[in-house]
Structure 1
Amino acid sequence: MTEPRTSPVNDGDLFTERVRRYAKEHPLHPVQVLEAGCGWGRGLDLGGLDHRLTGVDLDTPALRARTKARTDLHGWHLGDLRTVPMPPRAYDIVYGDYLIERIPQAELVLDRFVAALKPGGLLLLRLRDRGSAFGFLDRVLPSWSHGGSHAGAHAGPAAGDAGGGSGSPPPTTVYDRVASRQGMQWYCVMRGLVVAEEYASRERLDAMRAGIGLAGGLCRVVSAFSRGRLAAAHSEVTFVIRKPENRFARLL
């Protein structure tokens, strides 16, 4: 399997640009965006764009407080992501940043996201790759990076007041099997979805100075023992996934 490319821009900027491109291609109505993980994510820069942004997240005191404090959301729902309201074929974009690796039964939640997408809509995801050396270590040694599942998850400022830096910690990592590069590729094939773009990044590795420190050495050792199956060069993968418009395609 070939290594995925590195994104030409920051992933947050990439997602924002893809939403704006979608809006230009569909100018007759506001872009309906569902942000999954709205209680702690860094959000998108949608200023000046004709859109409606709805948030969805778990219902905990910290996430509820952060969600209520956001001024960019037009509406929101908090609850179990397996049952929280998500109207079918209601959204042009579903966006989840560092979410899939943090939820149990992630495949079921992904099915709900896809069902909520309009035909031709985009699913924008970034996740820690459980199939990387970093992901392996994060699963078996959850405290190996001094809270690596939490710290550094959202480096950089948010767009407006819509992103990280809120003080609300993200949920802990779960790493369902779909939470990997191979798992997401398999999921898209089985659901008839199109992977339009796929990139690798090393945000968490860089935040840990992995190239010169213990973290990098551990990742290289794990990769060597796995004979390269667990890649040491990246810690995250980013996907731009399209739901086909063809009504005869295999759709949820």
Structure 2
Amino acid sequence: MSEVRWWPETQGDVFGHRIRELWTEQLGRRLDILIAGCGRGDRVAIERVDIRVTGIDEDIPVLRAAVGRRVDLDARFVGDLRDAPLLPRTFDVVHAAFLLERLRNAELVLDRLVNALRPGGLLLIRMRDRTSAYGFCDRVTPWWLRRLLWKRFAPPEAVGPLPAIYEQVASREGIHSYCLMRGLMIAEDYSGSSGPALRGRHPRLARAALRVVEHLSGQRLPAGRDEITLVIRKPQNHFARLI
């Protein structure tokens, strides 16, 4: 694994900078970008870069509607991500924002995303941390209560509520172990705070609840860091494990 750049929280437009660097490395060749989990509406800021963007997401009504509203996608797929039509070594960049924590068989889907990356390509991940106070509350709250709280706490423009599965890979330890086993290089690792309830109608109440969870957990579930942001590179080295 390469030396990892650690930061306490996300510093600016990390993903956009890395995509521009990759475009420069490729001498201005068009970049093929896959947005996995495109139903949430996350976009990568990549002005003045020649790109072709494909979006995929699960077939959930609220996500299907959101995908249909996007005008920045050149191609799209909505369905079971374990069966998404992803050919090997097709994309230069895979951008997966807040996807892994809402999937079952998340490692299987992640394997398919990595397989779709060209050697030297970038895997850009943002995810909610299952070992944070926010992640804990999200995954243990019953679905009916999550739907009720979403209407009262989430920002009006947020897409959801979405499934909260949080398999082990949706944690810093889990994703680092995954990358080690697959021969992937983590170049940058950031922590941040971006939970919908913290940006919604009652952020102070949400933060107070998270501090209570942090205290009751003996500080094992931090209240101030719920997001993990990773820049991961698929190696060019042919001796690395092929996925």
- Would the TM-score normalized by the shorter structure come out above 0.5? yes
Q: Which residue of 2 aligns with 1:230?
A: 221
| Structure 2 letter corresponding to 1:16 | G
TM-score scaled by length of structure 1: 0.82
User: Residue 65 and residue 141 in structure 1: after superposition, are their counterparts in 2 closer, same or farther (change >3 A)?
Assistant: closer
- How many angstroms does 1:247 deviate by? 0.7
Q: Which residue of 1 aligns with 2:9?
A: 6
1:53-202 counterparts in 2 under 5 A?
Answer: 53-142=53-142, 143=145, 146-147=149-150, 151-152=154-155, 165=157, 168-169=159-160, 171-202=162-193
CA distance in 2 between counterparts of 1:141 and 1:89 reads: 39
Q: Which residue of 2 aligns with 1:46?
A: 46
CA distance in 1 between counterparts of 2:63 and 2:205 reads: 33
**Considering only aligned residues, what root-mean-square deviation do their CA atoms show, in Å?**
2.6
User: Secondary structure, in 3 states, of the residue corresponding to 1:16?
Assistant: helix
Q: Which residue of 2 aligns with 1:218?
A: 209
| Structure 1 letter corresponding to 2:11 | P
User: Residue 18 and residue 223 in structure 1: after superposition, are their counterparts in 2 closer, same or farther (change >3 A)?
Assistant: same
User: Secondary structure, in 3 states, of the residue corresponding to 1:218?
Assistant: helix
Q: Which residue of 2 aligns with 1:161?
A: none
> Which consecutive residues of structure 2, in runs of 5 or more, have no partner in the other structure?
1-5
TM-score scaled by length of structure 2: 0.85
- How many angstroms does 1:129 deviate by? 0.5
> Which consecutive residues of structure 1, in runs of 5 or more, have no partner in the other structure?
156-164
CA distance in 2 between counterparts of 1:51 and 1:33 reads: 7
CA distance in 1 between counterparts of 2:28 and 2:112 reads: 26
CA distance in 2 between counterparts of 1:83 and 1:244 reads: 25
Contact 1:41 1:97 (8 Å CA) reproduced: no
Deviations 1:1-53 (A, max 9, x none): xx8521221xxx32222211211111252111000112232212334211111
Contact 1:131 1:182 (8 Å CA) reproduced: no
